[in-house]
Amino acid sequence: MDDIRMNALDVQHLSYRYRTRQDFALRDISFDVQPGELVLVAGASGCGKTTLMRCINGLIPRSYKGGELSGEIRILGQDPTPLKLADISQMVGTVLQDPERQIVGAYVLNDVAFGLENLAVPREEILRRVDKVLDYLEISHLRDRETYALSGGEKQKVAIADVLVMEPDILVLDEPLANLDPASAEEALVLIRQLADSGKSILLIEHRVESVLSIRPDKALFLEEGELVYYGEIDGFLEAVNPFDVKLPAEVAIARMKERGAPPPPPKRARQENVDPLVVMENVRFGYVPEREVLHDVSLEIYPGDVIAVLGPNGAGKTTLVRHLIGLEKPTSGRVLLEGRDTRDITVAQAAHTVGFVFQNPSHMLFAPTVWEELAFGPRNLGFDEVRVARNVQRSLEIMDLTEFADISPLALSYGQQRRVGIGAVLAMESKILVMDEPTAGQDYRHYTQFMNAIVQMPVEAIVFITHDIDLAIQYANRVILVHDGRVVADGAPEEVLADEERLEQCRLRPTSLLRLNLMHVEHTGTFLPLEALVGVV
């Protein structure tokens, strides 16, 4: 018993099944975490990572009722069973995967102060701690901003601040990097490492394994279909996991692929020459409020065959730019032509015949009672007959690996699975242009390579995706648009745009191991190659 009391967290034979599911989400999980340990928690979407978090922070069984729970958990040596959720929250701080589920205040200051106010902390102390954590995260400039107007990455930073200001002993971070640009992710990780070094115990659930390895996690925990496959040192983790399931550093992944045999590289599209553009943006300026312009004189064209990665820092205007493609926003000046028609003269519904848009946040577009009905909604509203609807839904289910969830509510799925439902819903609509806002955020490596491989081979005329993942651009894009401060600062082939490291730094992007490998070999290869193709080069 004394050993258990020394642990920050002790989990013994933990199993859990949700009342609405037949299979167990967790099966016989046992591990312990020491004070000051930083543990990377990895695994495919739906493997049980978030369920494990809910058991540790007390949401199971207090908020998720009626399930089947067994095993034991000790937090700082205490049995949490008799404790209220408010008591546990002062011991275990949680940053949720979807920041909008965590933000409650109308303004950033009010939101970050909310937890301390509920603990009746004196006002002067609240303001001191709020300003300290905002400064630490380098978001002091957001202090008086309205939370609804923040970008996805800015909301994620505020959600992290909400928890850090409470100063809990244990932190559970569920994909905190998902919506952050690389520089912001790097800054957040440095902070997380500092918190661990100061004595806090941290469980970091994250798909961006390469980024997390940069801060030297003490251990790694790997889940697969609800079971604990590995728990131990990082070197053993890199050897234990499948390089096709987890995105490892490029050199490690290539070495492992040489042992196992590399799969064929993902297909790349060729841009079409001498054809009319599908989209034309001419000198577009736009602001949500007159005094704050977001886009400044943006001009670009999208052609058949384009697979465009839109890169840039949080708040650069990337989402605002692509929202103009479907008429969700209208330019303050300039114009957007969609197949020759000014978006001011067509409805969003009419634009949907040409452009399908996958929102950054899946909760903004999911509402149907089942996944099947969710995927069928769009094509039905476009007037497709039921045979065509059924065919398109089935194809989307297969591409997005959602067949087993067809009769389940999309809101009952994990965040990563909900993202795949959102993409599948747009695929079923057969739009000519597919636009995706952070399609791989919250996705495990196996699933996102699977659906991206399928998407680039589908009969859509052009693909545009916003991403913070430089490797995704290298793997799939034939064109990169770099956006900074509401302006297009670079537009060209990946090997042209991504070779300028100084410009990447200015746009808060960071070279990855895959980019550096390609830069080393591009004189020989003539182009950037996906990881699988580099196996025969390196």
132-146 per-position pLDDT tens digit? 999 988 899 999 999
Asked whether residue 335 is domain-assigned, the answer is yes
CB 90 within 8 Å of CB 166: yes
The predicted structure's pLDDT at residue 283:
97
End position of a domain, from candidates 112, 140, 167: 167
**195 in a structural domain:** no
Is the preceding peptide bond at 379 cis, omega within 30 degrees of 0?
A: no
Q: Containing domain of residue 116, as a range?
A: 98-167
Please check whether residues 472 and 327 belong to one and the same domain: yes
pLDDT digits (tens, 9 = 90+) for 144-163: 999 988 876 788 789 889 98
Mean model confidence pLDDT for the chain: 90
Q: Which of 125-129, 141-145, 203-207, 458-462 has the lowest mean pLDDT?
A: 458-462
1 pLDDT above the threshold of 70: no
Cβ-in-10-Å burial (0-12, 13-18, 19+) of 344 comes to: exposed
Q: Where is the domain boundary, 116, 138, 167? A: 167
pLDDT score for 119? 86
Hey, what amino acid is at 425? A
Lowest mean pLDDT, pick from 13-22, 174-183, 426-435 = 174-183
The answer to whether the CB of 45 falls within 8 A of the CB of 444 is yes
Q: Kindly state whether residues 150 and 297 are assigned to the same domain.
A: no
Q: What is the DSSP string of 172-241?
A: EEESTTTT--HHHHHHHHHHHHHHHHTT-EEEEE-S-HHHHHTT--SEEEEEETTEEEEEE-HHHHHHHS
Average pLDDT rounded to a whole number, residues 446-460: 86
- Give the per-residue pLDDT at 455: 86
CB 325 within 8 A of CB 437: no
Closest CA to 175 of 207, 216, 200: 207
Q: Is 267 among the domain residues?
A: no
Total number of domains in the chain: 2
Residue 59 predicted with pLDDT over 60: yes
Domain assignment of residue 64, yes or no: no
Alpha helix ranges (H) inside 267-365: 318-323, 348-351
Residue 177 lies in a domain: no
Cβ pair 56, 219 in contact under 8 A: no
pLDDT at 6: 73
Tens of pLDDT, residue by residue over 222-270, are: 999 999 999 999 999 999 888 888 889 999 999 988 888 878 888 888 8
Q: Which of 96-105, 357-366, 515-524 has the highest mean pLDDT?
A: 515-524
State the CB neighbour count (10 A cutoff) for residue 43: 25
Residue 152's pLDDT is what?
66
- CA 94 to CA 437: how far, in whole Å? 25
Residue where a domain stops, chosen among 114, 146, 167: 167
> What span, in angstroms and rounded, lies between the C-alpha atoms of 185 and 153?
10
Decide: 225 and 200 in contact? Cβ < 8 Å: no
Q: Are residues 286 and 160 part of one domain?
A: no
Average confidence (pLDDT) over 353-371: 84
Within a domain: 245: no
Based on the domain organization, do 144 and 288 belong to the same domain? Answer: no
Looking at the structure, tell me whether residues 297 and 439 fall in a common domain: yes
Q: Is the pLDDT of residue 4 over 60?
A: no
CA pair distance 438, 418, nearest whole angstrom:
13
Question: What percentage of the chain exceeds 70 in pLDDT?
Answer: 99
CB atoms near residue 280 (< 10 Å) = 18
Same domain, 374 and 506: yes
Which residues are 69's β-sheet partners? 16
Judged against a pLDDT cut of 80, whether residue 336 lies above it is answered with yes
Per-residue model confidence (pLDDT) at position 360: 75
Same domain, 283 and 162: no
HSE-up of residue 203 (Cα within 13 Å, Cβ side): 29
Render pLDDT for 509-518 as a digit per residue (tens, 0 to 9). 999 999 999 9
- Domain shared by 427 and 287, yes or no: yes
At 310 the three-state DSSP class reads: strand
Q: How far is CA 53 from CA 104, 108, 174, 203, in A?
A: 21, 25, 8, 9
CATH number at residue 434: 3.40.50.300
Instruction: State both tokens at 347.
Output: 């409805």
pLDDT of residue 514: 95
The whole model's pTM is what? 0.84
Same domain, 457 and 325: yes
Sequence-separated (6 or more) residues with CB below 8 Å from residue 87: none
**In a domain? residue 438:** yes
Give 304's DSSP letter: T
In this structure, is residue 348 part of a structural domain?
yes
